[in-house]
Copies of this chain bind each other. A is one copy, B any other.
Amino acid sequence: MNNKQITIVEVAREAGVSIATVSNVLNKRNVPMAPETAAKVEEAAARLGYRRNTVAASLSRRKTNELGLLLPGFGGYYGQFAEAMELTAHRHGYHLSVYATGSDPEREQRHLETLLERRVDGLFCHGMAMKPESVGRIVRGGSPLVLFNAWEWPEDLAVAAVNLDFAGASAEAVRHLVERGCRTVYYAGTSKALMIDRQRRLGFRREADRLGDQVRTGMIHSEAGDPEEQVTTAAAEALAEGGPVGILAFDDRMALRILGRLLQAGIRVPEEVKLLGINNEWFSAAAYPTLTSMSIPYEKQAELAIHRLLSHLGEAEDGKDLPQAKGEVTVPLELTPRRSTEA
């Protein structure tokens, strides 16, 4: 930070007006004013190379116009989502800063506390690593919080929650596989402790139950070892009793890894095994064969979240008339069929 900072005081002196006038001109406030006065100020500011000091402004206005977003990481889905959030926030006049926690409770806590101390106007958290009670203790009385994919979280902790409908997506995926002729369908997940995995299992199970004995199902999780390995073996065995076999992977990354195993085992996709993932990342269209996936409506998610936060701040732009402005919303994914599940 420069020591010889130019302030509105200098600009005022240079322009021969008062600091209030400078402030008004520079912030384009609609106070009546002689055009020449404004011009004088503009020119003086430009000549001096004046740059607004937001920290002073924030302190004075008790508002920072800054938002914070906490994510487990920047890669894949999260990165895409962060960009959508950034854009949406800006469209509403806010600046969004993004941080990664690496799913580490300590890093998460540090970021939370720092942002609260910075008095951000709002906070978005995706996949919290900390326990609800700890979050509550930290966040209480601070900036409002909007959560993502927070099923089973206490209502009063956040002003809203925006959840992706992973359960619905899983169900749709199962249907898709069965419609394509799969008599056996596997879900290859990660840890059963992960909430996003639980949601997928839930939808998978629900649809399996609905389908009854039209289809045999199996669920694989990482607690029992390498899921890619397991599902490949399982699929190979099931194949012996008649195919094709369907596999729903936790996400596209896992789908890609499974694809590698299948090819390595000499199993043909989609002829013998049909495979699909979730997230629709770029490589799903690049892989060979291309991977069917469930895509995520990033813009919608972001718009929903920011709208809720702003409406909480009392800045709802009506007109839009989005669903109820607090509580929990569920956002559906969309099936994007590709070669890996073709008939």
Contact = CB atoms under 8 A, between A and B. Distances in A.
Interface of A: 1-3, 5, 49, 51-56, 58-59, 62-64, 66, 73-76, 78-80, 82-83, 86, 90, 95-100, 102, 107, 110-111, 114, 116-119, 121, 140-143, 253, 256-257, 259-261, 263-264, 282-283, 286-288, 290
B282 A49 contact: no
A64 to B, nearest CB: 7
Given A75-B76, A97-B98, A54 B288 contact: no
B95 A114 contact: yes
Contacts of A100: 82-83, 86, 98
B283 A263 contact: no
A1 B141 contact: no
Contact of A253 (B51, B66, B257, B282): B282
24 contacts: A1-B63, A1-B64, A1-B119, A2-B141, A53-B117, A53-B119, A54-B119, A55-B55, A55-B59, A55-B118, A74-B80, A75-B76, A75-B79, A75-B80, A83-B100, A97-B97, A97-B98, A253-B282, A253-B286, A259-B288, A260-B286, A260-B288, A260-B290, A263-B288
A119 B55 contact: yes
Copies per complex? 2
A59 B74 CA distance: 31
Nearest to A78: B74
Given A1-B64, A99-B98, A256-B283, A117 B51 contact: yes
Contacts of A52: 117
Contacts of A98: 74, 97-100
Contacts of A78: 74
Contacts of A95: 111, 114
